[in-house]
Amino acid sequence: MIRRIFKKKQTNGKIDKFIKKYKIPREYLSINRKSIARGIFIGLFWAFIPMPMQMLGVLSLTPFLKFNIPIAISMVWLSNPLTMPFMYYIEYQTGNFLLAKEELENIELTLNWFSNNWDSIIIPLYVGTIPYSILVSALVYYIVNKLWILSVTKEKPHKFK
Q: What is the pLDDT of residues 6-28, one digit of tens each?
A: 555 556 667 677 777 777 777 77
Per-residue confidence (pLDDT) for residue 85, from 0 to 100: 86
CA 60 – CA 64 distance, rounded (Å): 8
| Residue range 68-91: mean pLDDT, rounded | 90
- pLDDT of 39 > 80? The answer is yes
CA 99 – CA 88 distance, rounded (Å): 16
Least confident stretch, 28-37, 70-79, 117-126: 28-37
| Range list of H helices, 61-136 | 69-76, 84-99, 111-131
Q: Compute CA distances 120 → 61, 101, 134, 139, whole Å.
A: 31, 10, 23, 30
